[in-house]
Structures are given as structure tokens and as C-alpha cells.
Amino acid sequence: MNKITRLTTSEAIIEAGFMVLNQNPKASLADIANTAGVGRATLHRYFSGRDNLIEAMSLKALKEMEQAADEASKNAQSYSEALHCIFVAMIPLGTRQWFLAQEHVQHFQKVKKAIDRQEKDMRNAVKKASKEGLFHPSCPLDWVMLSYDHMIHAAWEMVRLERLTVDQAAQLGWQTLIQGLQNANIQH
């Protein structure tokens, strides 16, 4: 017998926050409470205000993304393969990535610390994948990292718009990224 998993009230508010704020970053807490199916007073029992909710959402997004990346890459035989596995795993989490990109969350100390740690790990993986030949050796590391993030967003957007399946978007996005970055270099 399958169990139906129900969201706790705080989880429902956070999920509503992702839905509402990804569509309208200026939406009110009342809009989020309404989408979550709770009153504003209930929302405020769990989150003292907008900043408290944004911080909780950010930490949840980062945790989910880190768990997905770890799970996807745990059996990878190389850094290149790990980056590919992580790329594919991130597409369904596009709402999380989009939220983090739209909100200015770096001022939350816990969030900044988690982002810095994830960026450091990613930078290390990209460096090692470059040494494996995945990217052109003269292609700047920051360019690779930004291109990687933006291609995940492009793939997610195509899935969100129902123009591609997750598998199609993952395949097309990865091909576009790698074919472009293997030939991308700065002429001196």
C-alpha cells in the first residue's frame, strides 16, 4: 500500500513561496499564504516575516540541490562524468535555481556560507574536468561555471514551457554546453 506524503504546514508555505515568488518576485506574504492554503497569521507563526521565509526557502533549495548533486554523481568515474550527472539532476530543480538567482540571498549568513561552499566544490570539479579535457584549456573557469548554470536554466525553461521533456532538455543542453566550451578559447 502506498503512503500519501502530506506536507507539513511550514513545507506547504515554503513550496507555495517557490511557486508564487518564481512567478512574481514582488508577491506579498498574503499571496503565498493563500497559495499554501493557510491564513497570514498561520504563515507568521512559522515565519516571522518575508526575510525569514526567503532564508528558509534558500536553505531548502541549496540543500535539495546539494543532495541531488551528491546522489547523481556518487558513482561517476571521472569529474567530467560527475558534471554531466549533476547537470541532468539539476534540471528538475530549476525552480530552486531560478529562485536563488532572482532573490538577493547572499546577505543571509547561513545561505552565503552554503553558496560559497557549493561554488568552491563546483569550481574544483570544473578545474579537474578541464584537466580531463572536457573544456578548452584556455576557456576561463568563471565562463565555464556561468555557462553551466545558464544552460541548466535554459533546459529547465524549455521543460517548464513544455517544449521539451526533461531527457530531451538534458541531452540538448549538455551537447550545447560541451560542444561550445570544448572549442571556446580566448585569442591572445
CB-CB contact of 21 with 35 (8 Å): no
Look at residue 121 and tell me if it is in a domain: yes
pTM of the entire predicted model: 0.88
Query: 497559495: which residue's cell?
Result: 35
Asked if residue 30 and residue 92 are part of one domain, the reply reads: no
Overall number of domains in the chain: 2
Parent domain of 21: 1-47
pLDDT digits (tens, 9 = 90+) for 136-147: 888 999 999 999
Query: From CA 186, how far away is CA 182, in angstroms rounded?
Result: 12
CATH number where 28 lies: 1.10.10
Asked if residue 171 and residue 107 are part of one domain, the reply reads: yes
Q: Above 70 in pLDDT, residue 188?
A: no
User: 7-26 burial, b for 16+ CB within 10 Å, e for fewer?
Assistant: eeebebbbbbbbebbbeeee
Asked if residue 137 and residue 95 are part of one domain, the reply reads: yes
Amino acid at 146: L
CB-CB contact of 128 with 79 (8 Å): yes
Look at residue 141 and tell me if it is in a domain: yes
- Phi then psi for residue 96, to 5 deg, are -70, -45
pLDDT digits (tens, 9 = 90+) for 32-41: 999 999 999 9
Asked if residue 67 and residue 43 are part of one domain, the reply reads: no
Asked if residue 130 and residue 100 are part of one domain, the reply reads: yes
pLDDT digits (tens, 9 = 90+) for 92-110: 998 898 888 877 788 899 9
- Sign of the Cα torsion 18, 20, 24, 29 reads negative
Look at residue 111 and tell me if it is in a domain: yes
